[in-house]
Amino acid sequence: MIKPLGSDELNPLFVYDTERHHALTQEAESLPSMLLTSQAAANAVMLGGGYFNPLTGYMNVADAQGVCDNMKTTSGQFWPTPVMNLTKDVSGIKDAKRIALRDPNVEGNPVLAVMDVEAIEELSDEQLNDMAEKIYRTTDPEHPGVATWLAQGNYAVSGPIEVLNFSYFQTDFPDTFRTAVEIRNEIQERGWKKVVAFQTRNPMHLAHEELCHMAMDRLGCDGLVIHMLLGKLKPGDIPADVRDAAIRKMAELYFPPNSVMITGYGFDMLYAGPREAVLHAAFRQNMGATHFIVGRDHAGVGDYYGAFDAQTIFDDEVPEGALDIEIFRADHTAYSKKLNKVVMMSEAPDHSKEDFVLLSGTKVREMLGQGIAPPKEFSRPEVAEILINYYRSLNS
């Protein structure tokens, strides 16, 4: 099985030992508390689940800057995006050596993790903007990722953590949320050797479904892991429970039995385009996938990134040998009226735009909102029905 990033074994930071877990829970009640931002809480969940192996906690400023500059921490460990705990106010934890990290996304703000504080450093606005430029390739406050990044605060609290729960993800998505440890174990149980992962923050239309079939066929994969983001999105994106239902229906009807695992992970979307594509590849290696589909404008938003920047970054910027997982590069896929099937547009040179069934996301949302199913060449009717019901519920 493919090795995790940076170690022979996966080292999740969740405390599985019952006695230790109980002791930490008790200790946390007497420790100074810090309320995390949603992004820092999501980082803790990913560290707890083993997705961010081999990291042991939140990065200090030097490590985060190194990652922004050349995708390496000061020790030389490859990592594509800073994993930080930023805050506006450190008055409650100023001289503390150990603190309880509290969850902003669950009522009552329960303790999410216990942390050994190694450093509290203040960053200037200039430093935060410089980091934003490296991560997001823009400092435009209209970019949802930049806006979230800059709103967190100027203090970086760094050090190792021990994670005590998985926030709301385990309770809200019990059938879908899985740690990297659990996915790795299931891949092994199924006897899959070659596994391709597909990232999604949206429902899957016919082109996405066919892209997964193409990748499986061309790579000779035993299985596909559809791995959906379950955390915070930008306004207007379809909520996770609706996406989950739509994807499950599609897999049940249009994939062979025992060929697909439908899973999700607890992270907030960064919309960081190329850098986020590399992050996606890193944690898919940690969960045991051997291949990862990177499509057109992967993890992008608006017009901030070129159509294939998220693919060329693997050639131009990722250090040689940093990743063992292999990238399956996908072009825009669409239904060809000439060939009566979904194809990659780059593989149909004799086609003009009019030969494809192309609908913008805005147009599709309009149709669904009006109770109109997109054409069967664009979306499976069973999937469209679930989405129509969701849009109907918004208007009722």
Residue pair 380/254 in contact by the 8 Å Cβ criterion: yes
Clarify whether 202 is annotated catalytic.
yes
Determine if the peptide bond prior to 54 is cis (ω within 30°).
Answer: yes
Distance CA 236, CA 201 (A): 12
Q: Would you call 212 helix, strand, or coil by DSSP?
A: helix
Whose CA is closest to 288, among 312, 261, 268, 313? Answer: 261
Distance CA 40, CA 37 (A): 5
Q: How do 195-200 and 223-229 pair as beta strands?
A: parallel
Distance CA 99, CA 161 (A): 10
Residue pair 336/348 in contact by the 8 Å Cβ criterion: yes
Residue pair 322/78 in contact by the 8 Å Cβ criterion: yes
Whose CA is closest to 317, among 139, 78, 146? Answer: 78
Distance CA 11, CA 223 (A): 24
Which residues contact residue 60 at a Cβ distance below 8 angstroms, ignoring those fewer than 6 apart?
A: 118, 119, 121, 156, 158
Query: What DSSP character marks residue 269?
Result: -
Whose CA is closest to 206, among 359, 367, 366? Answer: 359
| Active-site residue, from 109, 129, 154, 202 | 202
Clarify whether 201 is annotated catalytic.
yes
| Active-site residue, from 11, 129, 154, 201 | 201
Q: Which residues pair with 111 in a beta bridge?
A: 102
Catalytic residue numbers read: 201-202
